[in-house]
Amino acid sequence: MQQNASFNKAAPTYDVICFSHLRWDFVYQRPQHLMSRFGKDRRVFYIEEPIFDGFKAHWDISERETGVFVCVPHLARETKADSIDFMMLYLVNLLIAEKEVEDYIFWVYTPMMLPWRKGLKPKAVVYDCMDQLSAFKNAPNVLHIREAELFDLADLVFTGGHSLFEAKRNHHDAVYAFPSSIDTKHFGRALDFSEEMDDQRETPHPRIGFIGVIDERMDVDLLARIAELKPAWHFIMIGPVVKIDEADLPRAGNIHYLGGKQYGELPGYIAGWDAAMMPFAINESTEFISPTKTPEYLAAGQPVVSTAIRDVVRPYGEMGLVHIAETAEEFVAKLEIAMSEDEKGRREKAAEFLSDISWDKTFNAMLDLIGDAIEERVGKNESVKMLSARF
């Protein structure tokens, strides 16, 4: 087994085996926030989707400064589609055996990886449903079936927002809403950031920015129209472009695509803006999203305008923390209002709201529920043993 990491065998309580469709180094978001907190006092094996570039199946494992072991499976180029799950089951069992993983929980982000755990016995199974994956572009047809199987297997289901909670709560007895949270200290650095980022320095003001994955959830026609209506404004787009053709993105002298950035750089970019925006399309792929960037923009001190995403409207729009717009003309008008607001009052209102949420609070609440689930599973197992002994 190929690796370049050392392991501490004395993992307290239980290890975490996380199955994720999101690459660890892609965009820093919910999985990274939660798994990094697990990694402070236990081993976390973050299992990604396979890369088909090898001659035989093997792992490439690297330890990150957060204490997480990122496990990238490599399979032979000629691996057939109907053999992938079998090969991944083999690799997962090999990982558990060679790293002496004994007490562990499964943390699942995608039902598509469910076959990789057959025959294994975790202390608990958590389905952290951060998105309605079946609504995304190119979603596998079998995803609905595997999610139903995951509901049957899971001890707990966490959802990434309230609208997703409402969609999933009737599918399981233990569904809990944990909306996008915030590392206020990290994004609060933008409030005192004075230096300009190199590739943003020459861009004139006013600057309206977006940070996130640029994909089918982005309303590219809306962005084009906003830029057309305000040619003197400049729109900063930060993030990787995936699942859509870059040729389909609107191009104008006042739209600037800066690509993906490191998590640590984001406050510096936001600090140089005059407002933040979320020009999401209103379609099937955005019906249940709860954008992590909403509280991040607020913590960084920016006024925010968004389209009518349900988990943005409630609570942020209803509380007057985010302006909601539907048309390009309305978006421009709301941006003008947002940029003319009293900055001190707006930031104080945002700070008051954010004082009650954090990734630490979210993580600790999840830990309590996992502890209860483990105890309940142990209790059920003991009851089964006692019943079996009687017969």
**Helix, coil or strand: residue 280:** strand
Compute the mean pLDDT over every residue in the chain, rounded to the nearest whole number.
93
Provide the pLDDT for residue 363.
97
Distances (CA, A) of 74 to 3, 21, 111: 12, 15, 20
Cis amide linkage into residue 250, ω under 30° from 0: no
Identify residue 342 by its one-letter amino acid code: D
pLDDT in tens, 261-320: 999 999 999 999 999 999 999 999 999 999 999 999 999 999 999 999 999 999 999 999
- The pLDDT confidence band at residue 379, using thresholds 50, 70 and 90, is low
Share of the chain above pLDDT 90, in %: 88
Distance from C-alpha of 204 to C-alpha of 93, rounded to nearest angstrom = 55
Provide the pLDDT for residue 1.
46
pLDDT in tens, 223-270: 999 999 999 999 999 999 999 999 999 999 999 999 999 999 999 999
Q: Is 389 left (phi over 0), alpha (psi -120 to 50) or beta?
A: alpha
pLDDT in tens, 49-83: 999 998 889 999 999 989 999 999 999 999 999 99
Provide the pLDDT for residue 180.
86
pLDDT(6) > 50: no
- The pLDDT confidence band at residue 10, using thresholds 50, 70 and 90, is very low
Nearest CA among 223, 281, 279, 278 for reference residue 256 = 223
Distance from C-alpha of 280 to C-alpha of 292, rounded to nearest angstrom = 13
**Helix, coil or strand: residue 256:** strand
Which pairing describes strands 304-306 and 234-238: parallel, antiparallel, or unpaired? unpaired
pLDDT(130) > 80: yes
CA 256-231-300 angle, to 5 degrees, is 55
Provide the pLDDT for residue 287.
94
- The pLDDT confidence band at residue 169, using thresholds 50, 70 and 90, is very high
pTM assigned to the model: 0.91
**Helix, coil or strand: residue 257:** strand
Residues 6+ apart with CB under 8 A from 155: 124, 125, 126, 174, 373, 374, 376, 377
pLDDT(378) > 90: no
